[in-house]
Amino acid sequence: MSVRRLAANQPDSFAFSAESLKQVKAWIARFPEGRQQSAVIPALWLVQKQQGWVSEPAIRVVAETLGMPVIRVYEVATFYTMFMLEPVGSHALVQVCGTTPCMLRGANDLKAVCQRRFGDRDHLSADGKVTWQEVECLGACSNAPMAAINDYYYEDLTPGIFEQILDEFIAGKPRAPGSVIGRQGSAPEGGSAVLQDASLFDGTAAKALKALPNAEPKTPGKAKEAAQ
């Protein structure tokens, strides 16, 4: 991560769309009177949903909407790395996880694919369709390596499949998100390998308990002592 700055080229103005404004108002209404600024993160998030990134005029509009100093919104927008401060690709924002589990499972190869196809990270690709980033752990370690493309996770990637997926995004026909090897949730590859013995589930393995584990000793004298 490097120092976060607002983009050099900014639009002249920003206005919430009717739909976003409705949602911003709904967020503001969730907080008590006089605490509208609690809605700053949802508001910025809605800006990003609408615009694709957070522009400088949008920061001012959010400050105005929430009645807070613009420097406070600026602080929030620069603090959270998920707020994009520069325009992002029109077709895909690719966030490749580069943290240890993914790195061990081949994230560097995915990054190399991105580097080769789209140039340096954190910048628009030459055709303006894609922006790629390396991000910290996205919490899908068991399905490493993975990348978040726009709003969804694509897991268990190999450089080849990753490139295919990227092509699909650029063509405007993204595939369904999730594990590309058909893994169920974060279950082991190829399905579950344990707890498969059918007898575990038919009750035959069950035995009556002699005593509860860690129960108090039954000796009366000792129980009395303990009570005292």
Q: How far is the CB of 78 from another protein (least distance, A)?
A: 4
Q: How far is the CB of 75 from another protein (least distance, A)?
A: 5
Strands (E), the chain: 92-97, 130-135, 147-149, 152-155, 178-179
Cα–Cα distance for residue pair 177/154, rounded to 1 Å: 5
Q: Does 71 bind another protein (CB under 8 A)?
A: yes
| Identified binder of another protein from the candidate list 1, 176, 212, 215, rule CB under 8 A | 1
Pairing of strands 152-155, 92-97: unpaired
Q: How many CB atoms lie within 10 A of CB 65?
A: 18
DSSP assignments along 7-71, one per residue? -SS--S-----HHHHHHHHHHHHTS-TT-GGGGHHHHHHHHHHHHSS--HHHHHHHHHHHT--HH
63-71, 136-144, 167-175, 191-199 -> range binding another protein (CB under 8 A): 63-71
Q: Does 122 bind another protein (CB under 8 A)?
A: no
Name the region of 48 (left: φ>0; alpha: ψ -120 to 50; beta: rest). alpha
| Identified binder of another protein from the candidate list 21, 70, 137, 161, rule CB under 8 A | 70
Residue number, 71 or 209, with CB nearest to another protein: 71
Cα-based distances in Å from 92 to 28, 31, 74, 173, 196:
30, 34, 25, 11, 41
Q: How far is the CB of 18 from another protein (least distance, A)?
A: 28
| Identified binder of another protein from the candidate list 4, 25, 121, 129, rule CB under 8 A | 4
| Identified binder of another protein from the candidate list 20, 38, 78, 158, rule CB under 8 A | 78
24-32, 66-74, 101-109, 155-163 -> range binding another protein (CB under 8 A): 66-74
Residue number, 75 or 216, with CB nearest to another protein: 75
Residues that bind another protein (CB under 8 A): 1-4, 6, 56, 69-72, 74-75, 78-79
